[in-house]
Amino acid sequence: MSDYLDDYLKPTKRFTRVHHAYLVNKRISCQAKVLFLLLLEFYQFNKNGIHPSQSYLAECMNLKNRRSVHNYMKELRKEYLIEWEQIIKKSGTANHYYLDQDNMRRIKNKRKAVAKSLERKAVVVQLQIVKDKMNG
């Protein structure tokens, strides 16, 4: 029995190390913390973005659907622990998740640029509607 516990309490391979502050000081749910630990496990082996499916993550966490995983992802993003972007593939779309600051900054800047361009388009459309009404 003690060998069994030692394997879990003092692992020698495939373990995830995280600073205590991530688990205690962040105002996120317990499920979001477990999700963060799962993502850290993937991140140890691939520093350039990880892409586990939300269905797989839901299965690992014993959740009934992947929508819950998405909600916990939003919690992590709100606390600046994770960022993601959607990648279009031949077989559909996939999310790439990033935990490093450089990629997180890159994605935030990309989102701001897209929002800014959409805002400009909205203003142009509104001006066109006003002009049409004045002429018509």
- pLDDT per position as a tens digit, 29-47: 989 988 988 888 877 666 6
Query: Is residue 6 scored above 90 in pLDDT?
Result: no
* Same domain as 115, residue 65: no
- Region 99-126: what's the mean pLDDT? 76
* Same domain as 108, residue 48: no
Model pLDDT, residue 10: 63
Model pLDDT, residue 72: 93
Model pLDDT, residue 134: 64
Query: Is residue 53 scored above 70 in pLDDT?
Result: yes
Q: Return mean pLDDT, the chain.
A: 78
* Same domain as 50, residue 10: yes
* Same domain as 73, residue 26: yes
* Same domain as 66, residue 19: yes
C-alpha–C-alpha distance, residues 60 and 38, integer Å: 8
C-alpha–C-alpha distance, residues 96 and 53, integer Å: 9
Q: C-alpha angle with apex 95: 89 to 96, nearest 5 degrees? A: 105
* Same domain as 72, residue 109: no
Burial classification of residue 60, based on how many CB atoms lie within 10 Å of its CB (0-12 exposed, 13-18 middle, 19 or more buried): middle
* Same domain as 78, residue 15: yes
Q: Whole domain around residue 43: which residue ranges?
A: 2-99
The model's pLDDT over 78-102, given as tens digits with 9 standing for 90+, comes to 888 888 888 787 887 888 888 887 7
* Same domain as 132, residue 83: no
